[in-house]
Chain A
Amino acid sequence: MTEDIQRKLQSELNSFKNVQKELQKAIQTRQQLDGQFNENEIVKQELDILPDDGKVYKSVGPVLIKTELVEAKQNVSKRIDYITKELKRVDDLIVNLEKKQDGHREALQKLQHQFQQAQVKAALHA
């Protein structure tokens, strides 16, 4: 009886840890995306206040290549759109994983309780 519960407890603990790891990873991705989003927003603001004939360069490796302002603006907007979508995706993922984690935590607590009870019982019989 106790061994049975112990086995269940172990497998539940493993899946709980796995979810926790996934959640950590998702949160890290979220933070990274958030940083990229902010950086791009700032670049967009800078490009927006530039005069129409402003000179813009893009660094490709060690060289600066001249770009059209319109093109740069489009590029940054596209990137912001993409990052916004990614942020939404990761947010959903985090919500899902948090739900999963809570589920596992509850199951773990239940099993722990059962395990303790079984141990007490075994001790009484002994």
Chain B
Amino acid sequence: MAQISATEQKGMQQIDLTTLNIQQLSTLKQQLDQELNLFQESLGSLKIAQTKFQNSGETLEKVTPEAEGKEILVPLTGSMYVPGKLHETNNVIIDIGTRYYVEKDIDAAKDYFQRKIKFVTEQMEKIQYLGLEKSKIRDAIVEIAEMKLAQQQQQS
């Protein structure tokens, strides 16, 4: 798919924005707006994922060897619970995606969530950086389009 970037990259064509006509500029702006929207959406989903991993990691703090045998309420549905006893508190089973689950001890599980949080945060930073770059290009396009419009009005 076509890419728009302010920094030069291999296999990319450099275009002087001032050489484009108003219609081309508006198409370009639309494309960038779409991309920016997508970025916002992705950031939202990543934020949700980050919070989930954080919650899971924090919950692990409460799962200690001392908790063995303690009573808990297990949710059967969103509004119905049955009492249960904690058993084997040094191991947890984690969903790693594509329907696979692995058993990990508490330390490995904590490490897992730490890694996931780091990964998601890194992705968010990347998207934020890209979004900033794209919105800069978008601003430049809007500016040039306005300039061209003003020129046209003067001429007519």
CB–CB A56/B1 < 8 A: no
Q: Which residues on A sit within 8 Å (CB–CB) of B98?
A: 39-40, 43, 76, 79
Complex: A54 Cα to B108 Cα, angstroms: 12
A82 within 8 A of B: no
CB–CB B100/A72 < 8 A: yes
Q: List 19 A-B contacts (CB under 8 A).
A: A39-B98, A40-B97, A43-B96, A43-B97, A43-B98, A46-B96, A47-B102, A54-B103, A55-B102, A55-B103, A56-B100, A56-B103, A57-B93, A57-B100, A58-B101, A59-B95, A59-B100, A64-B93, A72-B100
Q: B76-107 toward A: CB 8 Å interface, digit per residue (1/0)?
A: 00000000000000000101111111110000
Q: Nearest chain A CB to B120's CB is how many angstroms away? A: 11
A-side interface size class: 20 to 34
B-side interface size class: 10 to 19
B94's nearest neighbour on chain A, judged by CB, is: A46
Q: Nearest chain B CB to A25's CB is how many angstroms away? A: 15
Q: B100-138 toward A: CB 8 Å interface, digit per residue (1/0)?
A: 111100000000100000000000000000000000000
CB-contact partner of A58 in B1, B100, B112, under 8 A: B100
Q: Nearest chain B CB to A77's CB is how many angstroms away? A: 12
B93's nearest neighbour on chain A, judged by CB, is: A57
Complex: A27 Cα to B34 Cα, angstroms: 15
Q: Nearest chain A CB to B66's CB is how many angstroms away? A: 24
Q: A34-63 toward B: CB 8 Å interface, digit per residue (1/0)?
A: 000001101100110010001111111000
Q: Given A46-B96, A57-B103, list of 14 further CB < 8 A pairs?
A: A39-B98, A40-B98, A43-B96, A43-B97, A47-B100, A54-B103, A56-B100, A56-B102, A58-B100, A64-B93, A64-B101, A67-B100, A72-B100, A76-B100
Q: Nearest chain B CB to A92's CB is how many angstroms away? A: 14
Q: Nearest chain A CB to B45's CB is how many angstroms away? A: 11
CB–CB B99/A59 < 8 A: yes
Q: A81-94 toward B: CB 8 Å interface, digit per residue (1/0)?
A: 00000000000001
Complex: A60 Cα to B100 Cα, angstroms: 10
Complex: A40 Cα to B96 Cα, angstroms: 10
8 nearest interchain CB pairs? A55-B103, A57-B101, A46-B96, A59-B99, A43-B97, A39-B97, A43-B98, A56-B102
Q: Which residues on B sit within 8 Å (CB–CB) of A76?
A: 98, 100
